[in-house]
């Protein structure tokens, strides 16, 4: 098996300091969390930004840029910027969502299909997927295709077959989000079987599913994502002290299962990235 690529999703858009005081809000806090995760063994840092004062989800380009500058000054972790439009509104949503692509990250997330979450519709219409794939290809940014249900894989495969996504396609299997596909072993095997043969894939589990989905991803030859975006707890009733603590846990698990964590340069080779 290839080395294990560990992604740290350090803040997301929903967790708050009221839920866990260690959730990062400011660009300095987010960058510090990403660098600490790199030290712990993560090869990729998945980045959302927040309003530094309120902690609300934000999408200002200058916040993304500050995080990138701070991280790049300290380490070579691969930066994966979100293009999620979950909390955006108003005109020109597609252009707003694609602003991070022009900042030159190595990866951007690409949410490929729509979904009902418990409190809102996560809208990703077909014209969004095509526009995002084309823009990322134009800027030399690798899309990480976010999959919340099996139909999202079918939609992504059509873009791959049209040549809009360069090989190898990279998929993040997002399991346990209400009301996406449930985080079970059977469902993970089902999704894995629908991927293109040359796909690189990673799995995340929301909440208590983070650790079991990580274990399954490791033994099935995939990669894993951990971090506060998906889970705030080290174990039931015990808050994690940091994102890095969650990375350290999966590094220990991977070595017990005889898979060595990938360095950022290992991950670049596996994912077909050009620095």
Reported as a pLDDT band with limits 50, 70 and 90, residue 9 is very high
Q: Is residue 109 part of a domain?
A: yes
Q: Is residue 1 a part of any domain in this protein?
A: no
Per-residue confidence band for 1, with pLDDT thresholds at 50, 70 and 90:
confident
Residue 216 and residue 250 in contact, taking contact as beta carbons nearer than 8 Å = no
| Tokens 């014209």 found at | 127
Output the six-digit token pair for 75.
Answer: 């380490």
Inside any domain, residue 248: yes
The mean pLDDT value of the chain amounts to 96
pLDDT (tens digit, 9 = 90+) per residue, 148-167?
A: 999 999 999 999 999 999 99
Task: Report the alpha-carbon angle 13-18-24, nearest 5.
Answer: 50
Which H/E stretch holds residue 217?
A: helix 210-219
Structure tokens belonging to residue 224? 């894993």
Q: Is 116 a domain residue? A: yes
Angstrom distance (rounded) from CA 93 to CA 87: 10
β-strand pairing of 233-235 with 238-239: antiparallel
pLDDT for the residue 11: 98
pLDDT of residue 274: 78
CA angle 108, 114, 118 (to 5 degrees): 105
Q: Please report the pLDDT score of residue 92 as a whole number.
A: 87
Does residue 179 lie in a domain region? Answer: yes
**pLDDT value at residue 88:** 81
Tens of pLDDT, residue by residue over 50-88, are: 999 999 999 999 999 999 999 999 999 999 999 998 888
Domain region containing 123: 6-271
pLDDT tens digits, residue range 131-145?
999 999 999 999 999
Q: Mean of the pLDDT values across residues 193-197?
A: 97
For residue range 238-248, list pLDDT tens digits in order: 999 999 999 99
pLDDT of residue 77: 98
The owner of tokens 């004062």 is: 53
Q: Output the pLDDT for position 173.
A: 98
| 262 part of a folded domain | yes
Looking at the structure of the chain, the number of domains it has is 1
The pLDDT tens digits of the residues spanning 83-110 come to: 998 888 778 899 999 999 999 999 999 9
Position 177 confidence tier, pLDDT thresholds 50, 70, 90: very high
Where residue 151 sits, what CATH number does that domain have? 3.20.20.70
For residue 91, tell me if it sits in a domain: yes
Name the β-bridge partners of 239.
233
- According to the model, what pLDDT value does residue 188 have? 98
Contact of 23 with 213, CB cutoff 8 Å: no
Task: Give dist(CA 233, CA 20) in Å, integer.
Answer: 9
């Amino acid at each position: 098996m290839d080395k294990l690529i560990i992604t740290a999703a350090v803040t997301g858009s929903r967790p708050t300091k009221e839920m866990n005081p260690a959730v990062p809000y400011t660009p300095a806090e987010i960058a510090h969390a990403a660098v600490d995760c790199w030290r712990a063994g993560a090869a990729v840092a998945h980045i959302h930004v927040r309003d530094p004062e309120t902690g609300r989800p934000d999408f200002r380009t200058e916040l993304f840029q500050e995080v990138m500058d701070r991280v790049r000054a300290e380490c070579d972790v691969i930066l994966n910027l979100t293009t999620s439009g979950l909390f955006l509104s108003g005109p020109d949503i597609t252009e707003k969502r694609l602003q991070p692509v022009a900042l030159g990250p190595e990866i951007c997330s690409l949410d490929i299909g729509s979904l009902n979450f418990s409190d809102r519709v996560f809208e990703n219409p077909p014209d969004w997927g095509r526009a995002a794939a084309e823009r990322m290809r134009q800027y030399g940014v690798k899309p990480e295709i976010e999959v919340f249900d099996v139909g999202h894989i079918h939609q992504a495969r059509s873009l791959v077959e049209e040549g809009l996504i360069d090989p190898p396609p990279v998929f993040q299997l997002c399991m346990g989000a209400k009301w996406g596909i449930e985080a079970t072993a059977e469902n993970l095997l089902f999704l894995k079987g629908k991927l293109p043969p040359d796909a690189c894939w990673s799995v995340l589990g929301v909440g208590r599913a983070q650790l079991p989905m990580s274990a399954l991803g490791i033994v099935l030859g995939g990669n894993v994502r951990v971090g506060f975006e998906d889970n705030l707890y080290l174990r039931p009733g015990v808050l994690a002290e940091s994102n890095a603590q969650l990375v350290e846990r999966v590094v220990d698990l991977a070595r017990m299962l005889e898979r060595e964590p990938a360095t950022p340069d290992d991950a670049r080779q596996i994912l077909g990235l050009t620095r």
